[in-house]
Structure 1
Amino acid sequence: MGHRLSKIYTRTGDDGTTGLGDGSRINKDHQRMESIGTVDELNSHIGLLITELSAEDPYTAILSRIQHDLFDLGGELAVPGYTLVSADRIGELESTLDELNEDLPPLKNFILPGGSKPASLCHLARAVCRRAERCVVALSRSDEINDTTRQYLNRLSDLLFVMARLLARRDGGDEVLWVPADKR
């Protein structure tokens, strides 16, 4: 592959538009760009979470694969009509989710983000993932979006929730339970 970016600034976006992968141009505040940007932000949060884990940590491999999926998903959003994330990946996320959730006790109370730095970062990624899903749903009202894009983000937010619970419980730690106002 040749060099893709020989010059970082092009000045073509100075008018408030940006180019998509198919060569078309849209406004930078278009819902498609909001979706792409939020998926990119999610990928960045997952990258930050990975820096808190060791290379040998089993979650590192899971999260690294997810980062590649999210980059593909962003590419899919940048080229209308293009498909990169397959339905098979949703099934793989579900299998991973089932496996991770197997050892957790059932939730009997709401939990708050926290418990440890990695758990908190995972909760933050989960919250951004839910926003990314909302952005894609909003985009799907005006543009055709692959069903797998929405489904992937929905399963991913669930997986990140379960992973945050596990990270909070590591090494004798615990989840932060929500306490109702009348009991605080």
Structure 2
Amino acid sequence: MAIYTKGGDKGETSLFDGTRVPKDSLRVETYGTFDELNANISLADKFCESKRNKKLLQEIEYKMFFLQGEIATEKRQYFTDKSKIITDEDTRKLEKVIDEYTSKLPPVHSFILPGSSTAGAQLHICRTICRRAERLFVRLSKNVKFRPELERYINRLSDFLYIVARDEDYEDLLNSVTDDVLKIYKRYQEEKDVR
């Protein structure tokens, strides 16, 4: 089966509910940017050292399909009748991780460089894409009514990506310090054995 339909050859695409819109419409730009974010989250989870962070990001990747689907539907009831939706419980899960990680990580009193580890750097890319997607969503919301639950989730998502980036950077730092200490200890033992 071919992956192309030729339906978009004249600059239009179909939304989830079948409505045809121009490919450069703000709605398409918005859910397309969240799609870009999801691909980058997938890349970030491959770089993560923490198994928990990998799992958290994979859960977000799954939720992103519901988020994009709702944005990509003009007739909201059509989407909610056929799919799962983002709820305030999803936002509370993000907040729980944000609060937990904030309490365990060293406090930040100034701007930080965007990622000292590969995972951290990629997660900061995700954070900036998320903010861009949110700006598009806000612009779209001026003419299209969305559920407030969706707005809250989108706003919290960039905070979540920021704190997971910080956690990955912190874990990378701890692993680096541990490796350095082990090298020093090994060198000490070797010198001791020579004596």
TM-score, length-scaled by structure 1: 0.86
> What RMSD over aligned residues (CA atoms) do the two structures have, in Å?
1.6
List runs of 5+ in structure 1 lacking aligned partners: 1-5, 175-184
Say which structure is richer in helix.
Answer: 2
4+ residue stretches of structure 1 with deviation over 6 A?
none
Equivalent residue of 1:9, what SS?
coil
List runs of 5+ in structure 2 lacking aligned partners: 176-195
Partner Cα separation in structure 2 for residue 32 and residue 173 of structure 1: 43
Question: What's the counterpart of residue 52 of structure 2?
Answer: 58
Post-superposition Cα deviations, 1:57-91, rounded to whole Å, max 9, x if no partner, equal: 11011001000111111111112213411111111
**More deviation, 9-18/100-109:** 100-109
Count matched residues. 168
Are 2:41 and 1:38 equivalent residues in the alignment? no
Partner Cα separation in structure 2 for residue 8 and residue 166 of structure 1: 39
Cα shift at 1:172: 2.5
Counterpart residue identity of residue 136, structure 1:
F
Which of 8, 21, 26 is the equivalent residue of 1:13? 8
Question: What's the counterpart of residue 119 of structure 1?
Answer: 120
Partner Cα separation in structure 1 for residue 41 and residue 172 of structure 2: 21
Partner Cα separation in structure 2 for residue 137 and residue 7 of structure 1: 36
The within-5 A match list for 1:1-184 is: 6-53=1-48, 57-80=51-74, 81=76, 82-83=79-80, 84-172=85-173
Equivalent residue of 1:8, what SS?
coil
Q: Percent same amino acid at aligned positions?
A: 39
Counterpart residue identity of residue 101, structure 1:
T
Post-superposition Cα deviations, 1:145-183, rounded to whole Å, max 9, x if no partner, equal: 222222111111001111111111214269xxxxxxxxx
Partner Cα separation in structure 2 for residue 137 and residue 42 of structure 1: 16
Partner Cα separation in structure 2 for residue 150 and residue 141 of structure 1: 12
Counterpart residue identity of residue 123, structure 1:
H
1:120·1:164 contact (CA, 8 Å) conserved in 2? yes
> Larger Cα Rg: Structure 1 or Structure 2?
2
Partner Cα separation in structure 1 for residue 98 and residue 35 of structure 2: 22
